[in-house]
Amino acid sequence: MVKPDIIFKYFPELTQQQIEQFGKLYELYSFWNSQINVISRKDIDELYERHILHSLGIAKFCAFKPGEKVLDVGTGGGFPGIPLAILFPETQFHLVDSIGKKIKVVNEVATALGLKNVKGSHSRAEQIADKYNFVVSRAVTRLADFYPWVRGKFSKENINALRNGILYLKGGDLTEEIKESKLKAELYPLSAYFEEDFFDTKYVVYIPQ
């Protein structure tokens, strides 16, 4: 059984409920992944490091506030949205993906965990009419392609000390990609928070609105 200890190492202040919810993720994703492939099969045993802790890299950079609304674009099976929703139960998370069976997994996992702050929608980001404090995503496409999908989706009201904007998880050398996008982007290396080799070339890309 793959254990969530790596999560507790970096997030020691969890409630009992959060500890239990993180603990259930391996079993839930193993079950759903065997039916609907949302994670690379060879990656399932690395679920806690490469998917859950990676998603929580956003939380090391930005602590979401009660009442904030976060849109997760191209969530796949629920990353980074599900781990963030466990960590911030008073923040509302809207997880969208254009592939219906992936959103089925999101909704089933959220229900199994008792997450009341997660809504999953089978939709493209461009079709969402609501406004959000933050948009999160995990390397769904190049920033130049991603930004037009979410432009205009931001609330004018800032609740957080961090200005409303995009928090994008991406790896590798991003110099060209940021230049191509013409966006004012700030890079924060996840290696500043996590010591595992996997995070050496991974970043949170913050694009304030």
For residue 105, give the H/E element and its range.
Answer: helix 100-113
The pLDDT tens digits for 38-78 are 888 888 999 999 999 999 999 999 999 999 999 999 999 99
Residue 138 Cα to chain centre, angstroms: 6
Place 1 in a pLDDT band, splitting at 50, 70 and 90. Answer: low
pLDDT over threshold 70, residue 110: yes
What is the mean predicted confidence (pLDDT) over 117-129?
96
| Average of per-residue pLDDT across 18-28 | 97
Overall average pLDDT of the 189-201 stretch: 98
Q: Distance between CA atoms of 17 and 13, rounded to whole angstroms?
A: 12
**pLDDT band at 183; cut points 50, 70, 90:** very high
**C-alpha distances out from residue 161 to 15, 84, 114, 157, 164, Å:** 24, 18, 29, 12, 9
Tell me what pLDDT residue 40 has.
84
Q: Is 55 helix (H, G, I), strand (E, B) or coil?
A: helix
Total-model pTM: 0.97
83 touches 62 (CB < 8 A): no
Neighbours of 19 (CB within 10 A): 14
- Is the pLDDT score of 137 beyond 70? yes
Residue 6 has pLDDT above 80, yes or no: yes
Sign, Cα dihedral of 173, 151, 140, 205? positive
Q: Say if residues 96 and 123 touch (Cβ distance below 8 Å).
A: yes
